[in-house]
């Protein structure tokens, strides 16, 4: 037999050496889980901190995203203001900005390959009404974000760049001077290495099935039929949160992504938002990474199953060949998908769900920016410091 049994018993040795006296268990090893683990180590230097991850690597969004270090395009912020009013929107922009600074300080710009190349929001001729509303909002938005970013002019019209980038079928472009990009894989690896060198135990391939409150802690039942006892637990499972905590308002949303082969002479540099942000692309290692299109099949993409579909693959290919690199036969080297955690409100949930369990989930499309803060806040709440 060379597969892992569905259930088995833990040996005395395994229980005593690996799983005894866990003070803080963190479920999920994405950006939130690992940031939480590092903060736990700072708050409780002698505590035994363990991260329990179901995948061989993180298996959600943190190693599968686009790596935009972003805090809001103009159309995204307008849409948010329509739904929530201005106050919560600027508060969230500030949290995204602060979270990004925290991530960069924690890991270092070189290590995560941070580059402040800017962000670009693209509008098609049929987006004319939206583009007009966005243009009208620029002055006010710049005033609002100035105290946050410190930039005198964060957003500005930059239609001249459409030609520079060689984009087709784009009539207007707004530039966001404060946006940056990271190398997602390097960020995840840096977090893992930091956690390991801080003496945090990380168990991969360990899916948690259920949590059971006990008078002095929490019993963590694994899918293998055995359980672990911890003093307290943080649930950092984002789009999968409802499997453990069905009461939370989080649903999964799949995003499909492609990467091209290296493209000699590539002129595109930065993060690009298209069709109200439903599509996004960027340069990386001389290639284009392109993803999105979940709005084309909202129902089908409300899933926590990984995979790609012909409908979305074709729409991404069309965008690549007709708008981004028109008239070029661009070789696509690979496809993947990742799972977001969304909800009725565009805000993370950091909440005590029972005496020894806190949830830090529902990061939406903002986890690169806000994930560090959310993980830290979750563990501060768990340790009674939040
Ligand atoms: C394709 C894509 C592109 C994106 N692009 C961007 C972007 O450019 N900028 C940006 O800011 N955000 C982006 N995001 C969003 C961002 O990636 C997420 O908000 C962020 O990674 C969430 O981090 P997390 O740690 O909360 O969740 P995740 O990274 O999803 O981590 C949750 C972890 O929990 C584990 N887990 C789940 N259930 C269990 C269980 N029962 N037992 C044990 N482990 C479990 C999972 O395997 C997973 O590793 C994108 C997301 C996707 C999918």
pLDDT for position 328: 84
Q: Is the CB of 255 under 6 A from ligand 1?
A: yes
Closest atom of ligand 1 to 374 CA is 26
- Of 200, 229, 195, the C-alpha closest to 215 is 229
Domains of the chain: which residue ranges?
12-63+186-249+346-382
| Å from CA of 284 to ligand 1 middle | 20
Q: Is the CB of 131 under 6 A from ligand 1?
A: no
pLDDT for position 3: 87
pLDDT for position 106: 96
- Of 76, 35, 83, the C-alpha closest to 58 is 35
Q: Is the CB of 291 under 6 A from ligand 1?
A: yes
pLDDT for position 4: 87
Q: Is the CB of 69 under 6 A from ligand 1?
A: no
- Token code pair at residue 20: 């005894």
How many other CB atoms are there within 10 angstroms of residue 209's CB atom? 14
Please tell me the distance from the alpha carbon of residue 269 to that of residue 119, in angstroms, as a whole number. Answer: 9
How many other CB atoms are there within 10 angstroms of residue 160's CB atom? 9
Question: Is residue 78 helix, strand or coil?
Answer: helix
Please tell me the distance from the alpha carbon of residue 74 to that of residue 80, in angstroms, as a whole number. Answer: 10
pLDDT for position 327: 86
What DSSP string runs through 220-254? Answer: EEETTS-EEEEEEEEE--GGGHHHH-TTS--EEEE
Alpha carbon of residue 78 to chain centroid: 21
Q: Please tell me the class of the 12-63+186-249+346-382 domain.
A: alpha beta
Q: Is the CB of 340 under 6 A from ligand 1?
A: yes
Task: State which of 35, 37, 61 you would mutate to test the pocket of ligand 1, scoring each by most atoms of that ligand within 8 A of its C-beta.
Answer: 61
pTM for the whole structure: 0.98
| Å from CA of 64 to ligand 1 middle | 8
Task: Report, as ranges of residue numbers, the positions in the chain whose pLDDT lies below 70.
Answer: 1, 386
Q: Is the CB of 279 under 6 A from ligand 1?
A: no
pLDDT for position 73: 97
């Amino acid at each position: 037999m060379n597969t892992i049994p569905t259930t088995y018993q833990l040996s005395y040795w395994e229980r005593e050496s690996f799983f005894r006296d866990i003070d803080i268990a963190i479920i999920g090893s994405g950006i939130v889980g690992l940031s939480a683990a590092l903060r736990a180590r700072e708050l409780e230097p002698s505590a035994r901190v363990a991260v329990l991850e179901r995948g061989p690597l993180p298996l959600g969004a943190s190693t599968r995203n686009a790596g935009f270090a972003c805090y809001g395009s103009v159309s995204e912020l307008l849409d948010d203001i329509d739904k929530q009013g201005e106050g919560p929107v600027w508060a969230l922009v500030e949290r995204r900005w602060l979270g990004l600074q925290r991530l960069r300080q924690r890991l270092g710009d070189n290590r995560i390959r941070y580059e402040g190349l800017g962000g670009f929001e693209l509008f098609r001729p049929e987006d004319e009404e939206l583009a007009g509303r966005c243009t009208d909002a620029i002055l006010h938005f710049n005033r609002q974000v100035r105290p946050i970013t410190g930039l005198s002019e964060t957003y500005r019209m930059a239609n001249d760049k459409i030609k520079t980038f060689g984009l087709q079928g784009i009539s207007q472009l707004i530039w966001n001077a404060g946006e940056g990009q990271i190398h997602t894989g390097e960020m995840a690896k840096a977090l893992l290495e930091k956690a390991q060198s801080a003496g945090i135990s990380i168990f991969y391939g360990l899916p948690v099935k259920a949590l059971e409150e006990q008078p002095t802690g929490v019993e963590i039942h694994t899918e293998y039929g055995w359980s672990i006892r911890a003093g307290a637990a943080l649930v950092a499972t984002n789009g999968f949160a409802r499997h453990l905590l069905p009461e939370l308002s989080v649903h999964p949303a799949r995003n499909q992504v492609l990467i091209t082969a290296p493209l000699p002479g590539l002129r595109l540099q930065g993060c690009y938002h298209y069709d109200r942000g439903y599509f996004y692309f960027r340069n990386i290692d001389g290639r284009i990474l392109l993803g999105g299109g979940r709005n084309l099949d909202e129902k089908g993409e409300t899933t926590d199953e990984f995979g790609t579909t012909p409908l979305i693959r074709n729409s991404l290919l069309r965008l690549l060949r007709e708008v981004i690199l028109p008239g070029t036969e661009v070789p696509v080297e690979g496809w993947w998908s990742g799972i977001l955690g969304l909800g009725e409100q565009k805000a993370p949930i950091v909440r005590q769900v029972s005496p020894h369990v806190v949830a830090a989930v529902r990061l939406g499309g903002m986890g690169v920016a806000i994930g560090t803060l959310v993980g830290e806040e979750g563990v501060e709440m768990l340790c009674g410091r939040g």
